[in-house]
Copies of this chain bind each other. A is one copy, B any other.
Amino acid sequence: MRASRFFISTLKEAPSDAEIVSHKLMMRAGMIKRLGSGIYTYMPVGLRVIRKVEAIVREEMNRAGGIELLMPLVQPAELWQETGRWDKMGDELMRVKDRHGRDFAIQPTSEEVITDVVRSEIKSYRQLPVNFYHIQTKFRDERRPRFGLMRGREFTMKDAYSFDRDVAGMQTSYQTMFDAYTRIFTRFGLKFRAVAADNGAIGGTGSHEFHVIASTGEDALVYCPTSDFAANMEAAEAVASGERGAATQTLTKTPTPGTTKCETVAALLGVNLAQTVKTIALTTENDGKKSYWVLLLRGDHELNEIKVGKVDGLAGHRFSTEAEILEVFGTVPGYLGPVGTKVPVTVVADRTVANMADFVCGANEEDFHHIGVNWGRDLPEPVVADLRNVVEGDPSPDGKGVLAIERGIEVGHVFQLGTAYSQAMGATFLDDGGRPAPLQMGCYGIGVTRILGAAIEQNFDDKGIVWPDALAPFEVVLCPMGMDRSEMVKDATEQLYASLSAMGIDVIVDDRGLRPGAMFADWELIGVPHRVVIGERGLKEGNLEYQGRRDAEASSVAVGEMVGFIKAKLGK
Contacts and interface: CB of A to CB of B under 8 A. Distances in A.
A68 B50 CA distance: 12
Interface in A94-133: 94-96, 98-99, 104, 106, 113, 116-117, 120-121, 130, 132
A43 interface: yes
A6 interface: yes
Nearest to A104: B36
Of A47, A72, A96, A137, most buried by chain B (CB within 10 Å of CB) is A72
Interface stretch (A73-81, A166-174, A309-317, A399-407): A73-81
11 contacts: A5-B67, A33-B120, A35-B75, A35-B113, A36-B74, A39-B76, A41-B117, A43-B117, A47-B70, A50-B70, A137-B137
B74 A47 contact: no
Nearest to A5: B65
Contact of A139 (B73, B94, B121): B73
Contacts of A319: none
3 cross-chain pairs, A with B, having the tightest CB-CB distances, nearest first: A91-B99, A96-B96, A42-B70
A74 B98 CA distance: 15
A9 interface: yes
B143 A36 contact: no
Interface string A477-507: 0000000000000000000000000000000
A35 B143 contact: no
A50 B130 CA distance: 22
A23 B346 CA distance: 65
Contact of A73 (B9, B65, B71, B154): B154
A73 B70 contact: no
Nearest to A43: B69
A520 interface: no
Interface string A133-151: 0000101010100000000
Contact of A141 (B67, B73, B99): B99
A269 B431 CA distance: 78
A153 interface: yes
A40 B72 contact: yes
A68 B41 contact: no
A180 to B, nearest CB: 14
B67 A41 contact: no
Given A41-B70, A69-B42, A7 B132 contact: yes
A340 interface: no
A153 B74 contact: yes
A44 B154 CA distance: 25
Contacts of A50: 70
Contacts of A74: 36, 39, 94, 106, 139, 153-154
Contact of A44 (B43, B68, B99): B68
Nearest to A48: B68
Contact of A106 (B6, B42, B71, B106): B106
Contacts of A154: 72-74
B113 A41 contact: yes
